[in-house]
């Protein structure tokens, strides 16, 4: 088993509870880890035996475009979309951080980490 990850993906999206967040948007940082058997890739040196980083990015990007109030909801959708595309993935971990969250104080980033197992 291996952990394959994309870290520090940057998105501009419209997630948030407040109306101004839905209208103005904000910057988000996303990290995703997937656990998968890569023994076939180890033997063959072929992409078909592992996870395609580019496809993984496109799945994450598509889910980040869907407006949501809560990062928990976005994280869950990302996990579900990854499981749907790759049956061989057993675990997914998604971290989403909202830069400069509107909490009334200086805060570099708020975030949610969600882990799902098939």
Which residues participate in catalysis according to the annotation? 98
Residue 112, phi then psi, degrees to nearest 5: -135, 135
What one-character DSSP code corresponds to residue 48?
Answer: G
CA distances 108 to 31, 60, 99, 105, Å, are: 16, 23, 6, 10
| 3-state SS, residue 108 | coil
* CB neighbours of residue 54 within 10 Å: 9
């Amino acid at each position: 088993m291996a952990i394959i990850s994309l870290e520090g993906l940057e998105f501009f999206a419209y997630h948030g509870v407040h109306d101004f967040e839905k209208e103005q948007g904000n910057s988000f940082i996303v990290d995703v880890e997937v656990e998968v058997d890569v023994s076939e890739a180890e033997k063959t040196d072929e992409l078909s035996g592992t996870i395609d980083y580019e496809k993984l990015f496109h799945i994450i990007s598509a889910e980040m475009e869907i407006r949501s109030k809560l990062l928990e909801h976005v994280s869950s959708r990302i996990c579900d979309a990854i499981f749907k595309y790759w049956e061989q993935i057993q675990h997914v971990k998604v971290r989403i951080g909202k830069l400069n969250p509107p909490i009334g104080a200086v805060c570099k980033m708020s975030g949610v980490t969600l882990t799902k197992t098939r």
